Structure 1
Amino acid sequence: MDTSVADPLVGQVLDGRYRIESRIARGGMATVYLARDMRLDRVVAIKVMHAGLASDEDFVARFIGEAKAAAALSHPNVVAVYDQRTDGEHVFLVMEYVAGRTLRDALNALGRLGPRAALEIMMPVLAALGAAHRAGLVHRDVKPENVLITEDGQVKVADFGLARAETASKMTKTGVIIGTVGYLSPEQVLSGTADARSDVYAAGVMLYELITGELPHRGDTPLAVAYKHVNETVPPPSGVVPGVPPQVDALVADATAHDPARRPVDANQFHAEVAEVFGGLPRDFDRRIEEASRNATSVLEAPPGAFEAPPGDGRTAVLDADTLHGGHPPAGHPPRSRADRAIGALTGRYALIAIGAIAALILGWAVWYQTSGQYEHVPSSIIGMRVDDARGQLEAAGLDVRIADPVYDDRIRKGNVVKSDPPAGARVAQGEPVTLTPSKGLTPREVPDVKGKTLPEAQQTLEDDGFKVGDTKKTPSQTVAKDRVIGTDPEAGQKQSPDEPVTVIVSTGMAMPDLIGENGDAAANRLRSMGLKVTVRKKKVDGKEPNSVIEQAPAGGTGVSRGDEVTIVVNKRDCLVDAGPIQIGCDDGSETNVPVPNVVGRTVRDAERALRESGFEVNVTGFGGNIVRFQSPGGGDAPRGSTVTIVRGP
């Protein structure tokens, strides 16, 4: 049955960007959907908080805060958090979609794992938790359901931050405790407090479960299980699975100590201990103990038909009546036949051979383990670590470190380790080289076009596309309005790693020309041709050229935009009167020729206003459109009151 059909969110678009395609899973706090990010054209997982929790303001605030902290984690074993949004009543996280299955699914299919396989799973889990602990983040819900295994075998830990937000909520926790009580540390049961050592406890319980196929504490009710966590220790896995080495038992015991002070301080320390034990186990260790277990079972159990006892006889092929009674048959039973005794002797011989084989196996493993000190293991914790820190850790272990050319990687931050050669977890002899490959940053992508936007709008667009916003550069522009974005560096359409900052270039507007000393009429027309509203004032200043600009506002070099009001002050001319009736040089506005402003490219309305303010009549012609494409005369001087023809176009 397809549960997506009845789900009202399927088919909707959240935040105008994320189209919900199907429902993946439903839990106690949220529902997870498969979705497509329509802006970046990629598949994502959307975790939508249940409506009941979304109405709790305290929960939502902590949920958002923890989502931001989780998004800051950059580690290959952590399911990435891309975004956190709210759309109406829907509060949701946008996460990396991991195609594969959970560790719970794998455990259900296999029953249990061998000790070495279990440790191999735990190392990337602890590496992910260690990255969180270094960032001051506590998972609080470590369990197989939250460990994902990709189709190519990569291990990823999910749900960072969500559990912390939930436990901090004022709402009842009953539903969640039922789901996670098997992994709760004693301090979580008693006081509700948790730190990195609580995650270590849960990891220890999970290690026990991987090896044995069952939880250490079981009960009829969640309260009964919680009681056992407080009052009973986690038993050694070897009590359930013979052949589990004592070193693995010790790992479980240390991680699940009742006193948090006796546990590893965080997942990084526990990871180091697990890696050390893992490195000491032969590659075929799990196969060996499985074969030893099968051999021992075949010896201790008679094959069908190999031995026929009289009706009601409770003897077995090895622990028969003679063995139990010192070689003498018990009273009331007849002596065994020669054939019976031969079978018993043969079986006993096989038992001795099997015991010898097991002893040899254990001895060989012990010798190998003791002599393996000449080798070191490349720790998986170096992946995602700063290159210098990883180099120091490896050199301290006696390994020669080399640095390869950096590569782009979508998960590892610039300057951190992407991979090692030999790979993490591999054995390498002391003195042999380990090559670290640094991250060059996230894979380059096209810078979006933000021209014409305001600075906040441009910054938001860049951040939504995953880019880091760098400096803001301001520069004059004749075409872009003041406080609007001219462009970016690198330019729109060019590719750049999101780890590298993008510089936003903002217009300060057109540069106000320095007009002091220029002819007043020419200056006014020049400003009008820029689309500015010009006010001309006149005053008399001795010693200045008549009709020259003596003041201006704003000053030259100041950014202005079309439509801004500017003022120039022009020096009055003297009216000189000779003996006749003719005035010479009088400031009466009767000049024969005045400069014609250039209005090409401006709107027809602005052009008409600029020309009329300069003293011209205007003739508008053309075949539609609102932009001046041609004018006549196109510049120079023309008689005041003459007609300037402008041709409009699209």
Structure 2
Amino acid sequence: MDTTVADPLVGRVLDGRYRIESRIARGGMATVYLARDLRLDRVIAIKVMHAGLASDEDFVARFIGEAKAAAALSHPNVVAVYDQRTDGEHVFLVMEYVAGHTLRDALSSVRRFGPRAALEIMQPVLAALGAAHRAGLVHRDVKPENVLITEDGQVKVADFGLARAETASKMTKTGIIIGTVGYLAPEQVVSGDAGVRSDVYAAGVMLFELLTGRLPHQADTPLAVAYKHVNETVPPPSSVVPGIPTRVDELVTDATSHDPQRRPQDANQYLAEVAEVFGGLPPDIDRRIQDASGNDTRVLETPAAGPHTAVLDANTLPAAQRPERTRTDRAIGALTGRYVLLALGLVAAVILGWAVWYQTSGQYERVPSSVVGMKVTDARDRLESAGLHVQTAKPVYDDRVHKGGVVRTDPPAGSRIAKGETVTLTPSRGITPKKVPDVEGKSLDDAEQTLEDEGFTVGRTSRTPSQTVPRDSVVGTDPEAGARLSPDEPVGIVVSTGMSMPGLIGQNGDAAANQLRSMGLKVKVEKKKVDGKPADTVLEQDPAEGTGVSRGDDVTLVVNKRDCIVDAGPFEFGCNDGEPTENIPVPNMTGRDVNDARRALEDSGFKVKVTGFGGSTVRFQSPSDGEAPRGSTVTIVRGP
């Protein structure tokens, strides 16, 4: 524990509940303390954000949101987050306290691990990261310091407080790239991008370090190290430690590819690959590699014997510390040694034979990693052909697997399972739903492009009349804009056929013409005489009823001409080409463009007077409805 500097928080009780007892460590963003939860009477760890970051409201908001997401993770290999609180200027996380040491401590004590020991450590680490990736979280700071080993040998991954939702923004407000430079993926250095494959890259770097005892890229400054991540590939570990198998090399080089698409798709797939390679390694490979390299024989013991303990052979002790042996002792020892070696050889042969039988006897199968992402029907066939029973769980949304594909298996991919046992497949309901964009008013081509740019699939196109949307423009979508839909589900597009031409035959000619003008159509009225039909009624119309029309289209009405009446009692009609002078309906132009309104009123047979104080919209009209004599003046008042 770091107790060299007096800390003003030690001894304080935060939020009236958490008593700070001592400082454990101090990092670049926060300080970790050993504390006690006074309410539950248990030992905990508290991570207090540094004051400079705590004053940044955006950073604090993100920190709190991410803490909630991390608290939702429930996995035996993840350090649990219990609570998030603020006490005055102190913003802090309450976490599980893990008694033990870090993987960095273990690595420092043994210098490097053999392939089996390294892959044994990586599996619980990747299981923890895989749980986070399934929850949509990216750790972003995978390194040995964030891997804790409990006193009983359990491995736990810490510092998910720095994790971010995969869809979150790339950088902090201050432009700091989160992560430790020795483990940063090239895309994090170049653009700040951090996805699940960035965690896979860091895990690959960490595996290189466990195998070789050093990081792959080293330089005098962090900037120079970052430059190497972008411009140099991670070498195979065997280039540093001869004898490391090719398949172990490939676990490192595949995970640290500069192209994220060439890496395992997430920690779950990487775990499956690591487990498969681990299962195929000879039991004594760690000892053979270390003996061949001339180093001390140091191995990682099993958890039952103590977590990650360095073990020294007596033969590796300095000569002054070795027990003195007589000539007789040496002779007896040599003779005895032959029988011992023979016995050990026989035992090793039996064990090796049993191991080979166990791996290849046909009684067991490994859940293949290739079924993740495969169509459920194909995955079922693959597993059943291997002698396994298959059942299907409730489908879930997933950001990486399209609808109908396998999101995960239980047991996980790479697990060893007896023939006849059951594997549960979880299908994808599709990519996680998001909002359908608004494409109303766009052309069909533009609407399709917008949907595709947002990741949606374009579905069926239908057409419908619309009084407001021009012909061939988009009325809307199915489902409507703003609805949440998986991008794997098609989005239908509804296109306007324009306004529907009303049926006007038999109606009063002037009323019919005014109705069409109020729709924004250009009306041409023709007269002809048809005996037996009422005067001034519509005889024909073009286009026909139900035809789609748009504002500005030309339409024609044929109206029955009335006879010229000279004497009609109280009405005085003047004959003009057989048309009497009379009152006609006044179309209401309120809200219309002034120029459009003027043309419509003049086309209806009125004179127009425009007044007002500027603007292009008709705000008032007199008269605004009813009838008025043909040729009389209609006043419109313009306004903004």
TM-score range, shorter chain: 0.5 to 0.7
Equivalent residue, structure 2, for 1:291: 287
**Map of 1:107 onto structure 2:** 236
Contact 1:116 1:278 in 2 (8 A): no
- 1:140-151 mapped onto 2 (5 Å cutoff): 147-148=262-263
Q: CA deviation at 1:495?
A: 1.6
Q: 1: CA distance between counterparts of 2:572 and 2:629? A: 21
Q: 1:537, 1:567 within 8 Å by CA — same for their partners in 2?
A: yes
Offset from partner CA, 1:469-522 (integer Å, 9 cap, x none): 111221111111222122222222222111111111221111111111111111
Deviation by residue 1:68-93 (Cα, 9 ceiling, x = unmatched): xxxxxxxxxxx9xxxxxxxxxxxxxx
Any gaps of 5 or more consecutive residues in structure 2? Answer: 1-166, 172-184, 186-192, 206-232, 298-312
Q: Do residues 604 (structure 1) and 594 (structure 2) align?
A: yes
1:95 and 1:462 map into 2 onto residues whose CA distance is 26
Identity value in percent: 51
Query: CA 1:643–1:292 in structure 2 vs 1: closer, same or farther (change >3 Å)?
Result: same
Q: After superposition, what is the alpha-carbon deviation per residue over 1:414-455, rounded to whole angstroms, capped at 9, x for unaligned?
A: 001111000111111222221101111111111222122111
Deviates more, 1:458-467 or 1:342-351: 342-351
Deviation at 1:339, TM superposition (A): 4.0
Of 467, 488, 491 in structure 2, the residue corresponding to residue 478 of structure 1 is 467
Q: Cα distance, 1:380 vs. partner?
A: 0.9
- Equivalent residue number for residue 634 of structure 2: 644
Q: Judging changes above 3 Å, is the alpha-carbon distance between structure 1 residues 379 and 275 closer, same or farther for their aligned structure 2 residues?
A: farther
1:364 and 2:351 aligned: yes
Distance 1:145 1:360, change over 3 A: farther
Which residue is equivalent to 1:461?
450
CA distance in 2, matches of 1:278, 1:108: 15
Q: What is the rounded CA distance, in whole Å, between the counterparts of 2:533 and 2:584 in structure 1?
A: 21
Shift of 1:279: 9.1
Shift of 1:605: 0.9
Task: Map Cα deviations across residues 549-582 of structure 1 (whole Å, 9 max, x no partner).
Answer: 1221111111111111111111222335689998
Equivalent position to 2:621, from 631, 635, 640 = 631
Structure 1 residues 355 and 544: CA distance shift in structure 2, 3 A: farther
Q: Which residue of 2 aligns with 1:353?
A: 340
Partner of 1:118: 248
| Matching of residues 609-620 of structure 1 within 5 Å | 609-620=599-610
Tell me the CA shift for residue 143 of structure 1. 11
User: 2 CA distance for matches of 1:390 and 1:529?
Assistant: 63
Corresponding position: 1:592 with 2:588: no
Matched residue, 1:420: 409
Partner residue of 2:507 out of 508, 511, 518: 518
Distance 2:462 2:636 in 1: 37
Distance 2:170 2:516 in 1: 54
Do the aligned residues in 2 keep the contact of 1:573 with 1:586 (CA within 8 Å)?
no
1:351 deviates by: 6.0
8 Å Cα contact 1:377-1:426 kept in structure 2: yes
Residues 280 and 369 in structure 1, CA contact (< 8 A), matched pair in contact too: no
Which stretch of the first structure deviates more once superposed, 462-471 or 585-594?
Answer: 585-594
Are the equivalent residues in 1 in contact too, given 2:275–2:414 (CA < 8 A)? no
Q: Sort the Cα spacing of 1:543 and 1:289 in 2 relative to 1 into closer, same or farther, 3 A.
A: same
SS, match of residue 353 in structure 2 = helix
Runs of 5+ unmatched residues, structure 1: 1-39, 45-78, 80-93, 129-141, 157-270, 309-337
**Secondary structure, counterpart of 2:460 in structure 1:** strand
The alignment partner of 1:607 has SS state of helix
* SS in structure 1 at match of 2:466: coil
SS in 1 for 2:510: helix
Structure 1 SS opposite 2:555: strand
When the two structures are superposed, what TM-score results if normalisation uses the length of structure 1? 0.53
CA offsets, 1:26-81, max 9 Å, x none? xxxxxxxxxxxxxx98659xxxxxxxxxxxxxxxxxxxxxxxxxxxxxxxxxx9xx
1:403 and 1:437 in contact (8 A); partners too: yes
Map Cα deviations across residues 565-607 of structure 1 (whole Å, 9 max, x no partner): 1111112223356899987998644432111112233211101
User: For the Cα contact (< 8 Å) 1:533–1:566, is it kept in 2?
Assistant: yes
Query: How far apart are 1:348 and its partner, in Å?
Result: 5.9
SS state at 2:284 partner: helix
Amino acid at match of 1:462: L
Query: Does residue 539 of the first structure (1) align with residue 528 of the second (2)?
Result: yes
Q: CA separation of 1:120/1:423 partners in 2, compared to 1, >3 Å: closer, same or farther?
A: farther
Deviations 1:268-310 (A, max 9, x none): xxx9xx99986964xxx556332366579879989764899xx
The answer as to 2:378 corresponding to 1:378 is no
Paired with 2:345 and 2:264, the residues of 1 have a C-alpha distance of 34
Spell out, residue by residue over 1:81-122, the C-alpha distance to the aligned partner (whole angstroms, 9 max, x if none). xxxxxxxxxxxxx99884225676273497478659739949
Letter in 1 for 2:489: E
Conserved in 1, the CA contact under 8 Å of 2:623 and 2:635? yes
Aligned position for 1:7: none
Compute the displacement of 1:386 (Å).
0.8
| CA distance 1:380–1:592, shift in 2 (3 Å) | same
Cα deviation code 1:165-197 (max 9, x no counterpart):
xxxxxxxxxxxxxxxxxxxxxxxxxxxxxxxxx
Whether the 8 Å contact between 1:147 and 1:155 is mirrored in structure 2 is: no
Deviates more, 1:621-630 or 1:533-542: 621-630
Partner residue of 2:489 out of 485, 500, 513: 500
Give secondary structure in 2 for the equivalent of 1:373.
Answer: coil
Q: TM-score, normalised by structure 2?
A: 0.54
Q: CA deviation at 1:153?
A: 7.3
| 1:546 shift after superposition | 2.1
Counterpart for residue 10 of structure 2: none
Deviations 1:590-639 (A, max 9, x none): 43211111223321110111011112233434454322244333323222
Task: Give me the whole-angstrom Cα distance separating, in 1, the residues matched to 2:249 and 2:353.
Answer: 18
Q: Pick one of 420, 425, 428 that aligns with 1:431.
A: 420
Q: How many residues align?
A: 401
* Aligned counterparts of 1:398 and 1:344: Cα–Cα separation in 2: 57
Deviations 1:318-359 (A, max 9, x none): xxxxxxxxxxxxxxxxxxxx9456435525644653564354
> Alpha carbons of 1:355 and 1:458: their partners in 2 closer, same or farther (altered >3 Å)?
farther
Q: CA RMSD in A?
A: 4.5
Using the alignment, how far apart are the partners of 1:546 and 1:145 within structure 2? 80
Name the aligned partner's letter for residue 548 of structure 1.
T
The CA distance in 2 between the partners of 1:450 and 1:558, in whole Å, is: 25
Whether the 8 Å CA contact 1:444–1:498 is kept in 2: the answer is yes
Selected match of 1:343 from 330, 343, 364: 330
Counterparts of 1:357 and 1:629, CA distance in 2: 105
Distance 1:356 1:145 in 2: 50
**Alpha-carbon spacing, 1:638–1:307, altered in 2? closer, same or farther (3 Å):** closer
Deviation larger for 288-297 or 412-421: 288-297
Q: What letter matches 2:628 in structure 1?
A: A
Distance 2:348 2:259 in 1: 32
Partner of 1:569: 558
Distance 1:357 1:436, change over 3 A: same
Give yes or no for contact 1:596–1:636 (8 Å, CA) kept in 2. yes
Counterpart CA distance in 2 for 1:579 and 1:590 is 11
Q: Structure 1's 497 and 111: CA in aligned 2 closer, same or farther, altered over 3 A?
A: farther
